[in-house]
Amino acid sequence: MPKLSVIIPTHNEEKEISACLKSLESQSLKDFETIIVDDGSTDNTLQIIKSFPKIRLITGEHKGPGFSRNLGAKNAKGEILIFIDADMTFSKDYLKNLIAPIKKENIGTTHDEEIVENIKNIWSRCWGRVRVSKKDADKVKVFRAIRKDKFLEMGGFDPLYGYADDQTFFFKYKIKPVVAPNTLCYHKNPETLSKVYRQSRWIGASIEHKLLESNPINFLSPIMLLLLSPLTIPVLSIKKCYQLKEPAIFPQMLIFMIARYFGTISGITRRIYLNKNTR
């Protein structure tokens, strides 16, 4: 029985999944199984996955990554679960170092550095170059590795949190992962404005439940955000350029922020009025 089970939810990841799986093949730690739970892909994702003979593939309907992660966990043979995304790649000792603190009785860990891989793309660049820094890693609420018995005991991830489903244990139990040293990974940001909009819509619909409870103020919040947009979007664009130390990309940042802002409003609207939170 493998000690580790690496679980990857996929949905139309034909451009990303091959690099992710090859990166896992190059890990210094070899004793693990890889489980992919496909979330109703309609592109060539499944065909690419099947070209990797050692992958355990579970197919299903489009129910979101939280549902897929839970399904993978229930079918996992490992004692420790590793949750990654299909557009991630890793330093060669990533898995070995990620699980090291768990041997000391900590229930789970997160990585200490996450760098954006596709930074040459202008819309990815507008998101930022670093997703997790060593300085701020202790603020991360996402479990990348966790003991299977504790994961199942706590009920798994709650798909109602949508984009933030992998922060379930913090929202419900105020439990945070331990930071595992020397766990560098690379991730991709959305590369088109339509993807920026959809990602922002999903994030907007995934705000912590209390902020989206039914009350008069929350029902009016999309309208208030819409009315504030002529002022808020330029301010946010200037602030982001200042944070990134890239004033030269302000014109692109303004366009990027329009997509992010209205995507977020759309997500909040869908959640409040339609109780809908899907990618």
Q: Please tell me the distance from the alpha carbon of residue 29 to that of residue 92, in angstroms, as a whole number.
A: 8
Of 127-136, 161-170, 234-243, the one with minimum mean pLDDT is 161-170
Higher pLDDT, 181 or 278: 181
The per-residue pLDDT for 118 is 95
Written as one string, the DSSP assignment of 34-61 is EEEEEE---SSHHHHHHTSTT-EEEEE-
> How far lies 129's CA from each of 75, 104, 161, 230, 239, in Å?
35, 32, 26, 27, 15
Is a pLDDT exceeding 50 seen at residue 192? yes
Residue 249 contacts by C-beta under 8 Å, 6 or more apart in sequence?
A: 122, 125, 126, 241
Domain boundaries, the chain: 4-187, 193-274
Domain topology for 4-187: Spore Coat Polysaccharide Biosynthesis Protein SpsA; Chain A (3.90.550)
In this prediction, what percent of the chain has a pLDDT beyond 90?
80
The per-residue pLDDT for 215 is 60
Query: In the numeric block, which tokens belong to residue 22?
Result: 């090859």
Q: Please tell me the distance from the alpha carbon of residue 62 to that of residue 221, in angstroms, as a whole number.
A: 29
Tokens 């991709």 belong to residue: 188
**Averaged pLDDT for residues 64-78:** 94
